[in-house]
Structure 1
């Protein structure tokens, strides 16, 4: 799925261009495909530049442009690129012509703003005049709003950890609301996993990997229930600093008694983070200490079950 590409790009390559390329790709998917697009970011008044493209030549990246994206609302332009050409000097028209922008019949302009600050816009172009309905426009507007907070964080390539967590949560929440069992499940499992990991004595860097594993553990369900841990683990392929999180996702359906999947690992042969994730996931799903205790020594690590019961009984930290 295109949305997952945004996540993988940020985790492996935390740049505005990487994130916005994936954002444009998923926006096109939400609109049914057959669109091209570009993203502009604002450096200051009159300093808008193309930062990423989807379907347009890469040479367009870096081009300074003015255009119909100064308003704070999503707009569908039935006259295509007319406003774009009118807003820019003749010397830029040749670049726009080379990219085929005179053929655009309809443009959807989606502002990208965070807490009232105008960060830029997504522009999705279609060569046919087929209408983009209000519900489709709303989907893309919500998608842009989910990504917006990341762009400010990435401007100086600082706060990567916070940005990565935000985009992970946004992508998972988007899919939970459509395809997973319950909205907020991943967040609850992540909180329980970190609490359990801290009780085991993991360091903060290790707790970060546990958090990512727990947050992303069900993302593979976009390919269906069967085999989803392997699919989910593949989303972190190419992100070496989350290699342990990748193993945790792959093996969180193993069982302490060796009857799990995919590799029928048993006992402490199952990676620790996977055992932590399995206990935290069961804790959230079962919601009953006795039912969780019944899995100790069968599906789940008995020591971790005991720790989970202990930390879950503790009052929340102030």
Structure 2
């Protein structure tokens, strides 16, 4: 178990002391009974929302903003006196799940202090911005629209800001890194969810003070809670998808060292083409998978054939040309790949019908396969490997344009050219070895109208791409 450095312990102690000073006025002055009753209900509600996180498996992802149910805390900030509101966060934070590593008790204490300070800051900002606090002032009317929106938005933004700053501070002291390097991603990315939480918290406060009472506030909380759980489930499924893709790509890279890194770049080039074709984001994500996994069928090809240094025999050529069908069989049962499966099967088809495995022609070839075919051939020609130097991007583009119509879909070639003009392209070395002298490089092409092979082992064998 990792120990927490002394600087981080001191930082946590300061946070706890600041929390104690923030809530001390609520304990020293007379507070209306309605405030204590609301505090008890909000504390119990927030604690109940934290209980599912305690049962989350250690390997499950925890998307930002979905682990702690912040609308309840913001409702407390908008309803209760400033000094009393932070107490709503403490019990739930103390029993909630914390990341592994280091003393669990100390981490829970830190989490409680962090949320309490953020809630206090939101409550203070809400008051300074002119927000009313009906449960803290007897006879005060409840919040009303539209005047309540600005104080609530200000409180939610400060809540987010304080949470992020405190988190960056503890990471900086615990990991001994600069404060700027300790932040987790752009802070702007978390502002919109916090504004939504603030609006939900305000709606809870409005309903709480309505004639229907606190029970009506649950009608705001319930859909937020359900949507939060669904969002977390989506992230878990997405993480599982990404892990599946990574495992398959790593297996291919380990087996065929000549194409290491090629799959990721084909996925990137496929996305560039898809964006130029104005595909929607869901299809773009799938086509990225298609590009990354287009060579997964090489797992079914004997390693001795993939790594053979000399030209392949006709029999070996037939074996390696089975890799699209092998790939399709491998991914057949992976439902989330969708159209990517057809691209994996048909990315070596040609527009003139002379490709493989089924000899499809023109529009018979699935759209995703036509995209991946262009991306595959482009990266093959522009990659530097242990046996060949990369062709310049303009030369590779000219080769694709020359083969447009016979081998490649002209629309996909034009889309790639537009994307390259807009974003450029940085070819990468896919092998640690230096390329051989120029006089030892393979011939550019064995037949007219066919792009030069990037793989000397299959020269003249597979039009475009790496086989």
TM-score after normalising by structure 2? 0.34
Identify the structure with the greater helix proportion. Answer: 2
Identify the structure with the greater strand proportion. Answer: 1
Whose radius of gyration is greater, 1 or 2? 2
